[in-house]
Amino acid sequence: MTLMHDKTAPRLRPGAALVALWLAAAAVQAAPDALAPGGRWSAYTAGRAATPPMGWSSWNAFGTDIDEAKILGSAQRIVDSGLAASGYRYINIDDGWALRRQQPDGRLVIRPDRFPSSTGGGASSFRPFTDKLHAMGLKAGIYSDLGRNTCSQAYSGDDTDLPKGSVLEREVGLYGHVDQDIALFFSDWGFDFIKVDGCGLRAYGADSPKVRSGQYRALAPVLDLQSVSRSNIPAVQAEFTEINRALQRSNPDGDYLLSLCVWGAADVRAWGKNYGNISRTSDDITPAWARMLTNFDSALRRELYAHPGSWNDPDMLYIGKGDFDAGHLVEARSHFALWAMLNAPLMIGADLRTMAQPLMDIVGNDDIIALNQDPAGNQATLAYDADDLQILVKQLASGQKAVVIFNRGLTPMEADLTAEQLKLRKDAPVTLTDLWSKEKTSFTNETKVRVAPRETRIFRVEGTRALAQGLYLSELPGSVNPAVDGVVRPQADPSIFRSSAGWSGTKGAGERPMYAGWGGARADSTPYGQTLRIAGKTYGAGIGVLANSRLEVRNQGYRRVSAEVGVDDSAQDRAHGVTFMIYGDGKLLATSKPQRWGQAAQTLSADVTGVKLIELVARGAAAVNEQLPVSWGEAALLSR
Ligand code: GLA
């Protein structure tokens, strides 16, 4: 927080001025300065998600109509087909497993007819089931809800698969039972993964029909998918904090994975990375092309909000149904390639007992899986962006890259792919390996790539880096964390495709922008989607962020950090100055002069030899100014 000198403030008598100063100082002390260097990586690293989780979930295939045979059948095929060896290891039970919460002790009971192995001992237990999965070399996942009741209880048309009994017995969600349930799931039952849904905090307001009819108790909604301003963000975060504490207690070995499922609501696209291993960025996917686009878009421009340990989750794969079934292999391949490039969790959502071989081959493409599981953890960034064609580039740990050229529409395209888009030298050969056909081609400077309707061409790339002695930070989103992104009033992101294949049909006034995150930090773009530019000079590489922001950067042995800093030309605020600072492990290493709109960029650079965590702070003269985009042009880590 900065102290403002407000010329319009009434003049104070000297004594009063002292008191005011003292009060202001006390306020500064009370509210910690979010821009002060923390000296540590603040995104989530607990649990086990160094790379995005891979596995299978029951939801897309079966909804709540689940049973042990269906789940274990899919698990068996994962093993037999070799998918387990390719990395698919989480077998996740989604909604529909709970029968009731036993009274008065509150212990959860599993549906005995659907999970016969749960009835063997005294109390209902998933232990025989998880033992089986573990013996197969797999891991086991379970589902619960932040509220008292789950999503199917709120939205299912009939109650065949829903919990039974009294109102209290049907409260199978975590609310009021966090410690008890987490201990049951992880210590007693041996699960390794939990998906925590949010319907209990969304759908059970006092005026909802199911509450009014007496079926469920009311719980004041704090999540509103349509409107971030109607969501109570701290209340949702507090619940996840409580769940995290319980997870630590029940998993002394740290082998767990926490999946946040609040569908991009409550600005979670900005903070999910601090509370769990994967975090849903949108409402549910459906097996419709247009809906896949919505989910893809919800994660696409959040490249800096995903890192090893904290991934964006655009929802499970829908390969095997509708627009992604065996009759639509082009679409199915696109869906898979795009999820891989986004570092999305690869959770198969099909009944694997009957999945056709060509679809098995898609999800089993080891070269594409390797991109998703690359240890550097860099989500792909947009190198070319239009509504119908996009080019995404992903920097790999090996120094190679991957690129996809994605045709979103129905017109065949001939795309230009340039060395510049790949941040490679124009005068040296670039080799592309097609990750479906394995065919290799080479080009210098630029080439043409044919992309059929809805096709995604995907290649591994080798070439000579344009920046010889290091990497641009925008090539390393997995190592850059916008700890404070400068957004103070979250607004809906208009760049996400609004599909009519949504959840309310086409009644009403249509799909409106609803996922907050507009104005967040970006790689190679301003926060509002424009080209980075300072005083007329454009930057093909750099980080765009709002003033009053702090970026954490993990340093992997580089010796220098440097950037050309300034207020971006796209800023409407032409009055306020911004000071740029570089910190290394909490110590100030370099400071710019205050920069205003229109002033040429200053070069800011610091020796970071031996430094583990670099922090890049842009502090505005105004305490709060969300309209002030700044650019860290050509920000890079250099070896000398
Ligand atoms: C929500 C989630 C889905 C699924 C269902 C279960 O809609 O977003 O992924 O878990 O609930 O009811």
| CB 94 near ligand 1, within 6 Å | yes
Span 37-51, pLDDT tens digits: 999 999 999 999 999
* Residue 313 Cβ contacting ligand 1 at under 6 Å: no
Q: How far is the CA of 37 from the centre of ligand 1 (A)?
A: 38
CB 589 within 8 A of CB 607: yes
Residue keyed to tokens 């502090």 = 619
pLDDT at 379: 99
pLDDT at site 20: 44
Task: Tell me if 63 CB under 6 Å of ligand 1.
Answer: no
With beta carbons less than 8 A apart as the criterion, state whether 461 and 430 touch: yes
What pLDDT was estimated at residue 30?
Answer: 53
- Residue 388: what pLDDT? 97
What's the rounded Cα separation, in Å, for the pair 192 and 580? 43
Instruction: Give me the chain's average pLDDT, please.
Output: 94
Amino acid at 61: A
Q: What does the buried/exposed string (b/e) look like for 149-188 if buried means 16 or more CB atoms within 10 Å of the residue's CB?
A: bbbbbbebeeeebbbeeeeebbbbbbbebbebbbbbbbee
Find out whether the beta carbon of 97 lies less than 6 Å from any atom of ligand 1.
Answer: no
CA 470/CA 635 separation, integer angstroms = 10
Arithmetic mean of pLDDT, 166-171: 98
Which tokens is 99 given?
A: 């029968």
CA of 446 to the centre of ligand 1 (A): 44
Q: What pLDDT, in 10s, does the model give residues 478-536? A: 999 999 999 999 999 999 999 998 777 898 889 999 999 999 999 999 999 999 999 99
Check if 284 is active-site.
Answer: yes
**Which of 222-226's residues contact partners 24+ apart within 8 Å by CB, and which partners?**
222/266, 223/198, 223/262, 223/265, 223/266, 224/265, 224/266, 225/263, 225/264, 225/265, 225/283, 225/514, 226/512, 226/514
Instruction: Please choose from 153, 263, 284 the residue to mutate so as to test ligand 1's pocket, defined by most ligand atoms within 8 A of CB.
Output: 284
User: Please, which residues have CB within 8 angstroms of residue 547's CB and are 6 or more apart in sequence?
Assistant: 486, 567, 576, 578, 618, 619, 620, 622, 625, 628, 629, 630
Q: Is 584 exposed, middle or buried (0-12, 13-18, 19+ CB in 10 A)?
A: buried
Task: For a ligand 1 pocket test, name from 56, 57, 94 the mutation site with the most ligand atoms within 8 angstroms of its C-beta.
Answer: 94
pLDDT number for residue 505: 83
Q: Describe the crossing of helices 68-80 and 127-135 by its angle, rounded to 10 degrees.
A: 10
Cβ of 93 closer than 6 Å to ligand 1, yes or no, is no
Query: pLDDT for 459-471, tens place per residue?
Result: 999 999 999 999 9
pLDDT (0 to 100) of residue 353: 97
pLDDT at 267 over 70: yes
DSSP-derived secondary structure for 118-156: GGSSSS--SHHHHHHHHHTT-EEEEEEESSSS-HHHHH-
Percentage of residues in the chain with pLDDT exceeding 70?
Answer: 94
| Ligand 1 site, residue 283, Cβ cutoff 6 A | no
Lowest mean pLDDT among 124-128, 341-345, 539-543, 570-574: 570-574
Ligand 1 neighbour 197 (Cβ under 6 A)? yes
Which residue's CA is the closest to the ligand 1 atom numbered 1?
Answer: 151
User: What's the CA-to-centroid distance between 280 and ligand 1, angstroms?
Assistant: 11
Q: What's the confidence (pLDDT) of residue 66?
A: 98
Dihedral sign (CA 97, 101, 102, 108): positive
Q: Which atom of ligand 1 is nearest to the CA of 316?
A: 9
- pLDDT surpasses 60 at 22: no
Which token pair is 33?
A: 């300065």
Catalytic residue among 67, 179, 224, 284, which?
284
pLDDT of residue 72 exceeding 70, the answer is: yes
Q: Which residue's C-alpha comes closest to atom 6 of ligand 1?
A: 95
Nearest atom in ligand 1 to 195's CA:
10
pLDDT of 415 higher than 70: yes
Ligand 1 pocket, residue 297 CB under 6 Å: no
Distance of alpha carbon 247 from alpha carbon 183, whole angstroms: 8
Distance between start and end Cα atoms, the chain: 34
Choice among 181, 197, 313, 568 that is catalytic: 197
The counts of H helices and E strands in the chain are 13, 31
Q: Do residues 170 and 163 lie in contact, with contact meaning Cβ atoms separated by under 8 Å?
A: yes
How do beta strands 90-92 and 54-57 pair?
parallel
Q: What angle do CA 521, 526, 529 make, to 5 degrees?
A: 100
Q: What are the tokens at 400?
A: 């190679």
pLDDT of res. 10? 32
- Mean pLDDT, to the nearest integer, of 568-581? 94
Q: Is the pLDDT of residue 27 over 90?
A: no
Q: Is 304 helix (H, G, I), strand (E, B) or coil?
A: helix
Question: What integer pLDDT is reported at residue 502 of this predicted model?
Answer: 76
Mean predicted confidence (pLDDT) in 335-354: 98
Query: Is the pLDDT reported for residue 6 higher than 90?
Result: no
Q: What is the pLDDT of residue 122?
A: 86
Q: Is 49 in the pocket of ligand 1 (CB under 6 A)?
A: no
pLDDT tens-digit profile of 584-622? 999 999 999 999 999 999 999 999 999 999 999 999 976
Stretch 234-240: mean pLDDT: 98
Active site annotation includes 197: yes
Q: Please give the Cα distance from 13 to 15 (Å, whole number).
A: 6
Ligand 1 centroid – CA 284 distance (Å): 7
- Listed residue (315, 317, 220, 228) closest to 271, CA to CA: 228
pLDDT band at 7 (very low <50, low <70, confident <90, very high): very low
Ligand 1 contacts CB of residue 261 (under 6 A) = yes
Residues β-bridged to residue 401: 395, 461
CA of 133 to the centre of ligand 1 (A): 23
E strand or H helix that includes residue 638: strand 629-638
Report the SS3 class of residue 590. strand
